[in-house]
Amino acid sequence: MTEHYPEGRFPRGETSSSPQRPAQRLAASVLTFDLAALLEQVRHEASWERGDHNAMTLVKEPDFRIVLVAMKTDARIQEHHAAGRISIQTLGGRVRLKLPDQTIELPTGHLLALEAGIPHTVEALEPSAFLLTISWPAGRSATD
């Protein structure tokens, strides 16, 4: 049974439930994930059916975040930048990152580390999935 909390409030480190997803634990001393099962889930949600990509936050701490992202062929995440260092680890497919001074392709099994604040665009060259990890400097958080 799913609990509902007043005014969108729920225990620290846990999401509320939605029609697409049950409540999830996003912060704990130990978390484990079945990435294949979660990827299958994000590829069967309404957001995936309506759009060209879908994402699920797996870990959400003040200074650290991990997001599973699935993208359809030719999907694009417009230019943006992160306030913290990021890594992108391609789980399947092939993505292209356009940076100010270079373009990098990441096929399955490749990993990119990127310094904070560097603008980049992400494009899927084929159906793709990757893990995005964001880490903020000590004493800073996603909201700083």
In the chain, where the domains are located: 26-135
Q: What is the pTM of this model?
A: 0.82
Q: What DSSP character marks residue 14?
A: B
Of the candidates 20, 22, 29, 23, the one whose C-alpha atom is nearest the C-alpha of residue 11 is 23
Fold of 26-135: Jelly Rolls (2.60.120)
Distance CA 8, CA 54 (A): 22
Query: Which segments of the chain have a pLDDT < 70?
Result: 1-24, 138-144
Q: What is the pLDDT of residues 91-131, one digit of tens each?
A: 999 999 999 999 999 999 999 999 999 999 999 999 999 99
According to the model, what pLDDT value does residue 1 have?
Answer: 31
